[in-house]
Every structure is written in C-alpha cells, then in structure tokens.
Structure 1
C-alpha cells in the first residue's frame, strides 16, 4: 500500500500495487477536497508483462453526479473506451500508457515500462489521458527524461506543453515526490 498527500490542495491518493511475473495490478482511491470541484474517485488498472496498460476502470463521484469509464487496449493496439453508452475504438496514435489527471500512480507507468529509473533515457510518448472528475479521454504527448539515477532511486523530468516537473522516484520507479502536486507518505 502506498499513499500520497497533496501539497497545495487537500488531496489523498491510496493504492494497493501487486507486482507478479512482470505484471502489475493497481487498485486505488482518491479524495480531492478542492474548493472548486471536490470529488472522490476509485480505479482498477492492470499492466501486462511488457509494461503496457491492459485495462482500467475509473469511477468518480461529485456532489452532482457519478461517472465511470473503462479503457482497454487490445493485442493489436486498439483502445476500447466505454463511458456506458457503447464502446468506442481508437488507436490513439499507438499510445501504450494511460495517465489520469491528478493521479500520481499513473505517472509511474511509463517510467517503469521504459526503465528510466534504472538507465538514462528520454522519450516523447503518445498517452491516453483521462481527466478527473469528468472522465473525458483524449490523446496527449508527454516527455519523460532521466535527470539522474542512484541506488536510492532516480529523478525523472516529466513535461507536457506548459508544464514540467522533476519527479523523484524510488528504485522500483514509483513516484516519491511530485513537486507542487503530491508526496508519498512514509510507511
């Protein structure tokens, strides 16, 4: 179990990660008590042996409504997105990763898949992004670049147009500190 606490806003994210035979399964909850649009969310995610997202289910609840979306990537690289009104198919420019706005857990996925916490590299990636709390889905481009690697982890620069942050990750590639957003609560 890992938990992150928001730095600037009242926010908690807690996740149970199971890693077995190169696969990953994450089950988590988020509580965001922001003054503008407070919500809580839950998610389930599976990552295949190659580090590519297999499927995910996200649910959000606000004062006004509940929403859900499921996303899944077929073996031939097609994404299936379902908001409960039928499944849409899209290749999303070959994206292999999912990012959920404001969820620290998902930021670790490309870092782990590409081994950036072990060996220096830089990648610009197409990523399927899910926004919270509305759960809209779109394609974005994200860049991940290794800044430094040590026995205690690594620093990875994460950037999208208009935003950049140097993430501190542990030896397993999981985010410890996301400056200005959240930091992991020590066990």
Structure 2
C-alpha cells in the first residue's frame, strides 16, 4: 500500500526551502520536488526521483537554474551501470543510490533499505553525488550508522570524508532534522 504526502524542509545550508511530493510503498520511493536557495548563489531546481526494489535509485531527473543559465541532468542506473544524459559513468559502478546536494530527501533511501532508523547497523556506500546547482555528478563515499531509536523514529549518523552529522528520521524513515543543513516543517 502506497503512502503519499507533501514534505517541506527549511534548508539552512542554502537559505531556502525544498518541497516534495513523496510516495513510499513496500521497498519503493518516488518523489517530485522543487527547491530554491540563495547560497552559494541564487538558484532553483526541480527534480523527479524514481527508485526500484529496496529503494535503489533507478532515475533522477533534475533541472537547475541560476544566473549562469539552465542545466538539465538525466541520471540513470540500469543493471548496476550509471549514465548521465546517456554518457556512461564507470566510476559509479557499485553505487546503489544518488545523493542530491542540499536535499535531505535523498538521505532516506539507504536508511529505508537497511532500516537504520529502527535497527542497529553501520553501512558504507558509494553514492552518485549531484552537487546543486552545478549538477556535475561525482562519486562520493558515505557511511550511515544507527545511533538509536526515538519516540517517533530514530537517529542515524551520516559521514562523508571529514563531515559528520547526526540526522533525525521519522517513523517512516524520512528526514526530520539534518543539523546545519535542513529541518522539516510541520
């Protein structure tokens, strides 16, 4: 049974907001969203995210606009092979998820897949990182660690390089608070 809802975050990192229609079902997540920000420069983005089994990324389509113009990205993962606008990205072989910069939504997929908002565990991932507003895809090593349950969900540590943050998730595995980055509005 699918659950559809509109989520909105205040995105402190960009001085803006992100809103997304999110549909979750058994092992799947799809989303259509928009975000605006003023840091590092004014921009807006629109995206559509589609996952397959175990919330693994199948496709992320993004349009970004800033003072330098409009860019589009069609990022796909088919059979473990990633492409950006049809161009192969062999450096992402083995990656399962995308990570859209300045977006708390894409931290959800690995957490849901491994139930890290509810159960102990620590996992390392290779991600297809998409910086915003540039949209130049690159590989990113990330670690997610279950820290504990909360009344409404759980806490999970996100780490990449020297950066670490303890995120709060709701009972459905969707980000509530990403300290210094974003906070979901009620």
Alignment TM-score > 0.5, same fold: yes
1:10 deviates by 1.8
Q: 2:70 and 2:43 mapped to 1: Cα distance?
A: 10
Q: For the Cα contact (< 8 Å) 1:120–1:149, is it kept in 2?
A: no
Alignment of 1:34-53 (within 5 A): 34=39, 36-53=40-57
The reply to whether residue 78 of structure 1 matches residue 107 of structure 2 is: no
Paired residues of 1:78 and 1:91 also in contact (CA < 8 A): no
Deviation at 1:62, TM superposition (A): 0.3
- 5 Å-filtered alignment, 1:46-61, equals 46-61=50-65
CA distance, structure 2, for counterparts of residue 73 and residue 153 of structure 1: 29
TM-superposed deviation, 1:21: 4.3
Please point out which of 51, 66, 73 is paired with 2:70.
66
**Corresponding residue for 1:185?**
185
- What pairs up with 1:113-152 in 2 under 5 angstroms? 113-152=113-152
Cα distance 1:67–1:171, how it changes in 2: closer, same or farther (>3 A)?
same
* Aligned mates of 1:92, 1:108 — CA distance in 2: 19
CA-based RMSD:
1.4
Q: TM-score, normalised by structure 2?
A: 0.92
Tell me the distance in 2 between the aligned counterparts of 1:150 and 1:178. Answer: 15
User: How do 1:156-167 residues align onto structure 2 when only pairs under 5 Å count?
Assistant: 156-167=156-167
- C-alpha deviation, 1:87, in angstroms: 2.5
SS at match of 1:103: coil
Shift of 1:162: 1.6
Q: What's the offset of the Cα at 1:48?
A: 0.8
Which runs of no fewer than 5 residues in structure 1 stay unpaired? none
Q: 1:143 to 1:106 in 2, by over 3 A?
A: same
CA-CA distance at 1:118 after TM superposition: 1.7
Contact 1:10 1:32 in 2 (8 A): yes
Structure 1 residue 18: deviation in Å?
A: 1.1
Q: Is 1:29 equivalent to 2:34 in the alignment? A: yes
Q: Distance in 2 between matches of 1:23 and 1:156?
A: 20
Q: What TM-score do the two structures reach when normalised by structure 1?
A: 0.91
> What residue ranges of structure 2 are gaps of 5+ in the alignment?
1-5
